[in-house]
Structure 1
């Protein structure tokens, strides 16, 4: 388990935040589209399973 500071995508249609650097969904978000924090969004299911 590799926790990182929570982040989410700034692109429309974003519905979750990520907090694990092993999450493939989170890793697919380009750096330029990442925003720090949860954005009030629930945690990604994949991140939950990795926790």
Structure 2
């Protein structure tokens, strides 16, 4: 479990960004839908706990 550069989904309805490679929610985002950065979103609760 390691910090990675922040990323989020470009799909409509996205409300969180991720920054940990052990986050199951973040890992479920397909590569084609990933966008670098926070996008001005709040950090994922799962990433916060990791």
TM-score by length of 1: 0.96
> Structure 1 stretches (4+) deviating beyond 6 angstroms?
none
Partners of 1:31 and 1:6 in 2: CA distance: 14
Q: 1: CA distance between counterparts of 2:49 and 2:12?
A: 25
1:11 offset after TM fit, Å?
Answer: 0.1
After the TM superposition, which residues 10-25 of structure 1 pair with which residues of structure 2 at under 5 Å, given as runs?
10-25=10-25
TM superposition score normalised by structure 2: 0.98
Question: What's 1:45 paired with?
Answer: 45
Aligned residues: 50
What runs of 5+ residues in structure 2 fail to find an aligned partner?
none
Q: Which runs of 5+ in 1 are unaligned?
A: none
Q: Measure the CA separation in 1 of the matches of 2:25 and 2:49.
A: 12
Greater strand share, 1 or 2? Answer: 2
